[in-house]
Every structure is written in C-alpha cells, then in structure tokens.
Amino acid sequence: MLLGAVADDFTGATDLCSMLVRGGMRTVQLIGVPGPNDIPPDADAVVVALKSRTAPVREAVDQSVAALHWLRDGGAKQFFFKYCSTFDSTDQGNIGPVADAMIEALGCGFALACPAFPTNARTVYLGHLFANGMLLNESGMENHPLTPMKDANLVRVMSRQTDGTVGLVPFGTVEQGAQAIRRAMTGMKEQGRRYAIVDAVSDAHLVAIGEAAEHHALITGGSGIAMGLPANFRRAGLLPEAGDPSALPLVAGHTAVLSGSCSRATLMQLGRAREHVPVYELDPIATPDAASLAAGALAWAEGKLGAKPIVIAASAPPEKVAAVQARFGREEAGALLEDAMARIAAVLVERGVRRMVVAGGETSGATVRQLGVRSLRIGAEIDPGVPWTLAEGAGPPLMMALKSGNFGAPDFFTKAFEMLGA
C-alpha cells in the first residue's frame, strides 16, 4: 500500500478512488473503519470511506484516527484526508479537528489544505474558494442545511476550526511551479504554521502542488489534489507502469438496476431504460410498508432475471415525491423506500443477481449495508465519477456500480451492462 486515505463520506471516497485509478493506482475503497483483523487489500491505494462529515466532532476524530492507524499498520507510505470540494464544515469542524488529530498521530506538524477541483468548477484563488464561478458563500452553499458555508476565505474558515495557525500559498507562487510551492510550504512549516491553504485554478496547479507535496506525510483536500500523487510514486520507482489498474475479475450472473434517486439525471436515465428493458415502479402510497413493497417487486421480477437487466425503481418526478412526502414525512418516506430497496437487493442476490447498478447516494448506502459489503475494488468508469466495482463482504462477490443521483449520461443503465459484455 502506497497511499492510505480517509474520506469523510461515501461518494467522495469513490470520487477519490476514480482519480487514483486514472493515475494508474490499483485502488480499493473500504466501507467504515476496518477491524484489527482485517487484512489490507492488495492495492496501491486504499481509501477508507467514513460517514463523518456531519458526525459529532469526537466521533469523526476517533474514527478518522482509527482508520489512519490501520492504514499505517497496513504499510501506507503517505496519507490523505479527503473532504468535500466545497469544504463542507462548520466552525466546530469536522475538517479542522480531524486534520489536527491526523497531524498529531503522524507527528508531521504540518499539512496543506486544498479543496480545488477545477474540472468540477471548484477553484481557490487568494485563499478564496469559488464554486461554479461564484464565491462559496454566494454559490448556494451558504444555504446548505447541515454545513452552511458563509465565508469563502479558507484561511479564516480553517483558522476557526483549529488551534494551529493557517497560512496561504498564493496564486503567484503556485504559478511558478512545484519548486516554488515546496519552498513556500517549507517556509510556513518552519514558521510554525500548521496549515497552508494552497491556491489552484487549473489542473496544472494541482499537479504541481502534488509534486511539491511528495514528501509530506499528510495531504488534505478534495479529490482534485490527488491528481499529482501517482506520478510521485512512479518517479520514486514504487508504482510500476505495467497492467491496467482498473482491470477487475468479471463476475458472471444475473443483472439488475435498483433506482432510489429522484434526481433529474436519474429520471432521464429511467426514461431511456424503459425503451429497452422491463421497469417496475414501487408505489409507496398504495403499499406503505417496506416488506410488502419489496414482495411486490420481487414477485414481478420472478422469471425475468437474466443477462438482460431489469429495473426496479422508487424514483419519481417532483410532484409524486411531494405527494409521498406529504403522506409520510420527508425522512420517513426516504427511509421506507431505502429499506424496501435494500430488502429487494438482498433477495435478488439470493436469486443469482451478481451485477447490480444502484442509483442514489443514500439508496446505495442502504443497499451496501444490507448486503454486508465491506470493500469495493475500483474498476473502469462507466461515466465520469461512476466506476464498476468488485464488491466483497459477507455475501458472494458482486459487480456493483453505485451512482450518485446527478451522475451519468442518459443511456447509463444500459451502457453499464454493455460494458460488461452483456
């Protein structure tokens, strides 16, 4: 293991994994803190996915440090703390306290912080984070229900979350390249600063920052900043060129799509899938009970399973979602349908489904939990940000693609299986 990463949420972890695979690293995502007897997977990078972004500070710190220790014991040579490219946090944390604790555990005294991801329109200029070309605090993120970001100045934001001091490596220095960035960061560390916010508005900047951080024990940021890291390991002779890092063993079996996302992209993908494959829709108003909803879908699926995918969807357009939420309440409706989808997934696997696409972040989380999946080996991307993975854990190995709502082209559901040669 070369790189050991801790991510503060599930889809963010997958994002980081995809970035590392693109850079040539064989990458495995682990779900939750591994146990002391869990053997590190055979991979160049291991990303432990936590659900710590909005957890109580103590819990986030404890889990992150436990994951860090496990990764260190597993032989990782460098560590990464992955958070959201919009720096989702409050004055209480969790980015500052978790990073502080990781720095202390590693005894390294210093880390850079860079959430920039220019491809996704997240840039940092003179310490200010922009999302979609707008200052973070005017981008809509100021209204986030859990982590409202009311200040775009990351030096200030981070300073409020740590008892250490925070400096800035500004655009002018970053433009000069890796050596200048390295010099600036070394200077800051020598002055006793604990963090450097580093500007980046282009991929070239991310690559230069990655190179400058070659010998840093800990790097913190979004998945963008991981862009430059594989090259460091390659230059050091630790990462062989050979082989396709996204190659997965093909698992044979029936195919299915479970869709719990109601995002516009998913609804469009469902519309497209309807032209080609059988689609079943759950009706929570008629059947307000997870077990019965699952039973209905599973009766429908009887005799339909095979190489051609079937689709089971809770997804609905906004007016239908509103009606369901009005009836049950927003959270209860979500939980009911997540529960139903998870039950359906478990029985489909019993019936021989081994290739499964799940649409929706929360829906994916519920499904993966129900199936007892512990690790995802990251394969080739179906569309940007959504790779096929080999899921392993309590049950038989499965091929899973976990799609967060807004991701994927309109033909995603059929394309995914075509990629596997279905």
Shortest distance (Å) from residue 325 CB to ligand ADP: 6
Q: Which helix (H) or strand (E) holds 335?
A: helix 330-350
Binding mask 315-354 for ligand ADP (x = CB under 6 A): xx---xx--xx-------xx--xx----------------
Q: Which stretch binds ligand ADP (CB under 6 A): 194-202, 220-228, 308-316, 390-398?
A: 308-316
Q: Which residue's CB comes closest to ligand ADP?
A: 405
- In the complex with ligand ADP, the residue whose CB is nearer, 212 or 333, is 333
- Taking the complex as a whole, the smallest distance from the CB of residue 147 to ligand ADP amounts, in Å, to 16
Question: Of 66 and 345, which CB lies nearer to ligand ADP in the complex structure?
Answer: 345
CA separation for the pair 411, 387 (Å, rounded): 15
The amino acid at residue 191 is Q
- With b for 16 or more beta-carbon neighbours within 10 A and e for fewer, the 206-241 pattern comes to bbbbbbbbbebbbbbbbbbbbbbbbbbbeeeeebee
Which is closer to ligand ADP, CB of 49 or CB of 197? 49
Q: CB 83 → ligand ADP: shortest distance, Å?
A: 19
Per CB under 6 A, 405 contacts ligand ADP: yes
CA dihedral 211, 82, 35, 400 (to 10 degrees): -100
Based on CB atoms, which residue is closest to ligand ADP, 157 or 313? 313
Given the complex with ligand ADP, which of 76 and 257 has the nearer CB atom? 257
The answer to whether 314 contacts ligand ADP (rule: CB under 6 A) is yes
Going by DSSP bridges, is the β-strand pair 27-31/128-131 parallel, antiparallel, or unpaired?
unpaired
What is the distance between the alpha carbons of residues 277 and 12, in angstroms, rounded to a whole number?
31
- How big is the CA angle at 224 (ends 222 and 228), to the nearest 5 degrees? 125
What lies within 8 Å, CB to CB, of 352 at 6+ separation is 253, 254, 305
> Which range of residues in 45-53, 131-139, 304-312, 355-363 is near ligand ADP by CB under 6 A?
355-363
Q: Which string of x and - marks every residue 266-295 that binds ligand ADP (by CB under 6 A)?
A: x-----------------------------
Is the Cβ of residue 114 or residue 333 nearer to ligand ADP in the bound state? 333
Q: How far is the CB of 57 from ligand ADP (least distance, A)?
A: 24
CB-nearer residue toward ligand ADP: 4 or 360:
360
- Using CB under 6 A as the binding rule, whether residue 3 contacts ligand ADP is answered as no
- State the number of binding residues for ligand ADP (CB under 6 A): 22
Interface pick for ligand ADP out of 362, 388, 390, 398 (rule CB under 6 A): 362
The count of other CB atoms within 10 Å of the CB of residue 202 is 14
What are the two backbone dihedrals, phi and then psi, of residue 284, each rounded to the nearest 5 degrees?
-70, -20
Name 91's Cβ contacts closer than 8 Å, sequence gap at least 6: 160, 161
Residues 239 to 268: which contact ligand ADP by CB under 6 A?
A: 260-263, 266
Round to whole Å and give the CA distance between 104 and 108.
7
Task: Report helix, strand or coil for 422.
Answer: coil
The answer to whether 220 contacts ligand ADP (rule: CB under 6 A) is no
Q: Tell me how far, at minimum, the Cβ of 406 lies from ligand ADP, in Å.
A: 7
Tell me the three state secondary structure of residue 134.
strand
**Hey, what are 346's tokens?**
């478990």
CA 358/CA 365 separation, integer angstroms: 9
Beta strands, E only, 266-367: 279-281, 310-313, 353-359
Residues that bind ligand ADP (CB under 6 A): 260-263, 266, 314-316, 320-321, 324-325, 333-334, 337-338, 360-363, 404-405
